[in-house]
Amino acid sequence: MTTEDRQLDVRTEAPARRHDLIFSTYAALGAGEAFVLVNDHDPKPLHYQFAAEHAGQFSWDYLESGPSTWRVRIGRPDSVDGD
């Protein structure tokens, strides 16, 4: 794990582009790495999408929960069963 996780601030991105950016950032992570998503609303629907597509292969930790800014640390575990 790095000392400071990279930040992905999607607040200025078009809503239609946000999930693509988030998932491509996640795909580029190595084992044990993470990034901090910065968003202007609670990304709970994104969590459901991660759970459906990457069950057991990600971590999700709220660092800030509104009212105007949400920060979520999204990471890959050091090891994933089946790898």
Residue 45 belongs to domain with CATH number: 3.30.110.40
Is 81 domain-assigned? no
Residue 83 located in a structural domain: no
pTM for the whole thing? Answer: 0.88
pLDDT tens figures, 18-76 = 999 999 999 999 999 999 999 999 999 999 999 999 999 999 999 999 999 999 999 99
Give pLDDT, residue 79: 72
CA distances from 26 to 1, 64, 65, 68, 81 (A): 15, 19, 21, 24, 18
Domain count, the chain: 1
Domain extent for 33: 6-75
